[in-house]
Amino acid sequence: MTNYQLICGAEIHVELKTKSKMFCGCKNDPFHAPEPNIYTCPVCLGLPGGLPVPNKQAIEDTILLGLALNCEIPSLAHFDRKHYFYPDLPKGYQISQKDEPFCLGGYVDTSYGRVRLNHIHLEEDAAKMHHEMVEARKVSLIDYNRSSVPLVEIVTEPDIHSPEQAKEFLKKVRDIIRALGISDCDMEKGSMRLEANISLSPDGNLPNYKVEVKNINSFRYFANALTTESARHAKLLNQGQTPIQETRGYRADSGTTVSQRTKEDAADYRYFPDPDIPPIVISSDWIASIAKRLPELPTAKIETLAKLGIAESTAKIIVSNQEMMEYIEHVKDLNPKYVQSAANDIVNKKIDYTKLTAEVYIKTLESKMASKITDQSLLEPIIKDVLIQNPSVVADYQAGKQNALGFFVGAVMKVTSGKADAGVVNQLLKKLL
């Protein structure tokens, strides 16, 4: 069997949590809507005459993401129409970006190497289809609450070479997006959706085919898709065949992929600039004002925690959990000397951070520190040590010098910084002597 190199590029779709939709004033809240099809208007229903007006907040969020992912922000961007027919797309085209997106290039570093980005563009989400049984008949229902919700798409270069690297990369991207506060990246609800472009190369060069796997809704499934596709491609290549260029769907239940359709070309979509939306000029002043929103990013946060004496593995867990991070920051503000133990306790689940406040946690630690050591099992080895190190004083005591006891109590207090309970120490000393 030949050794192949896995070549994978990722496409990451993320719904932005702006107040309103991408091109109209309808509420952007598809997951909490009390009923389907209530947050709609002529624009997001694609009715004749509806005119799109771009959402400034969504554009700023996209540029902010680009800045966080080391992208270049061009001085001009525009929206294109991407045509395809499907009931979830009422206009018959999706407003997206092809030639002049908001962010160009960029990269994310992983421990397996750098993953370069091709670009990040902004588009509108489609409506949500529900395939159900109604009165024993298979029906497809459509909910337009999601139609035209702002959707950011991050497109990478084919720089991912293992399932492990894919997982690390995707987690990093998700953590950065969450740190920016522009999306919840909830994969279960579908506010973050993944696609993988996969091929195998016998010589490290880009092969002449790629298979797109859609419908991946967890990082684990993404890694699984790479593993199963690699095996399938290797088998075909070993038989002298080239895998067909196509779109396949990931099936979580079986861990396999199934063919959906042969891949269309960009030309099939008949992209052209949307004539309803003028090009968008991005001034350096505007970029500078957006950059002010950049918070401390996860990598920097991990470094800050490491400086406080927290192990990197512990810091990573904390940084990827917003609530844990807030708790640790709160402890740090109250008293930095307790950050290290708080970090360990929170990761080892010794703190229920939803119930125990940082203030109470610190008070508990303080009272523990202040209280006397009365535990005999803790004191006995310390006392034994002191006795072994001072054989001549032990001999004095046994010869009847009672004041030798005071010497030993003093020695134990020195070792325990004065926290040993004097009564217990006296009792133990007499027993051990």
Contact positions toward Mn ion, by CB under 5 A?
A: 153
Residue number with CB closer to Mn ion (194 or 310): 194
Q: Which helix (H) or strand (E) holds 223?
A: helix 219-238
Q: Which residue from 11, 27, 41, 54 is in contact with Zn ion, where contact means CB under 5 A?
A: 41
**127-143 burial code (b ≥16 CB/10 A, e <16):** bbeeeeeeeeeeeeebb
CB of 23 to Zn ion, least distance (A): 8
Smallest separation (angstroms) from Mn ion to the CB of 95: 11
- Smallest gap, in angstroms, from Cβ of residue 136 to Mn ion? 36
Q: What is the dihedral of CA 287, 293, 294, 295, to 10 degrees?
A: 170
The position carrying tokens 């129409």 is 81
Task: Decide whether 153 or 274 has the Cβ nearer to Mn ion.
Answer: 153
Among Mn ion, Zn ion, none, residue 71 binds (CB under 5-8 Å by kind): none
Which residues are bridge partners to 257 per DSSP?
A: 250
Concatenated DSSP letters for 244-258? --EEEEEETTTTEEE
Q: Residue 153: which of Mn ion, Zn ion, none does it interact with, CB under 5 to 8 A by kind?
A: Mn ion
149 binds Zn ion (CB under 5 A): no
What is the DSSP pairing of strand 246-251 with strand 211-216? parallel
Q: What is the CA radius of gyration of the chain?
A: 31
Closer CB to Mn ion, 225 or 325, in the complex: 225
Q: Which of 96, 156, 148 is nearest to 121 (CA)?
A: 96
To Mn ion, the closest distance from the beta carbon of 21 in angstroms equals: 16
Q: How far is the CB of 42 from Zn ion (least distance, A)?
A: 7
Quote the least distance from Cβ 93 to Mn ion, whole Å.
13
Q: Under the criterion CB under 5 A, does residue 26 sit at the interface with Zn ion?
A: yes
How many whole angstroms separate alpha carbon 63 and alpha carbon 54?
14
- Select from 184, 136, 146 the least CA-distant residue to 14: 184
Q: Indicate which of Zn ion, Mn ion, none lies near residue 213 (CB less than 5 to 8 Å, by partner kind).
A: none
Residue 320: Cβ within 10 Å count: 18
Residue 103 and residue 119: Cα distance in Å, rounded? Answer: 5
Bridge partners of 262, per DSSP, are: 246
Q: What contacts 230, CB < 8 A, 6 or more positions away?
A: 4, 6, 198, 200
26 is in the binding site of which of Mn ion, Zn ion, none (Cβ under 5 to 8 A by kind)? Zn ion
The answer to whether residue 226 forms part of the interface with Zn ion (CB under 5 A) is: no
Residue from 44, 71, 73, 176 binding Zn ion (CB under 5 A)? 44
Q: Which is nearer to Mn ion, 164 or 246 (CB)?
A: 246
- Residue span binding Zn ion (CB under 5 A) among the ranges 38-46, 127-135, 217-225, 340-348: 38-46
Q: Which is nearer to Zn ion, 24 or 347 (CB)?
A: 24
Stretch that binds Zn ion, among 21-29, 161-169, 201-209, 275-283 (CB under 5 A): 21-29
Residue 24 binds Zn ion, judged by CB under 5 A: yes
Q: Please state the closest distance from residue 50 (CB atom) to Zn ion, in A.
A: 8
| Residue closer to Zn ion, measured from CB, 36 or 74 | 36
Contact track, Zn ion, 243-282, x by CB under 5 A: ----------------------------------------
Report whether 28 contacts 150 (CB < 8 A).
yes
Residue-wise burial string across 350-377, b where 16 or more C-beta atoms lie within 10 A, e elsewhere: ebebeeeebeebbeebeeeeeeebeeee
Task: CB nearer to Zn ion: give 148 or 162.
Answer: 148
24 binds, among Zn ion, Mn ion, none (CB under 5 to 8 A by kind): Zn ion
Q: Which residues bind Zn ion (CB under 5 A)?
A: 24, 26, 41, 43-44
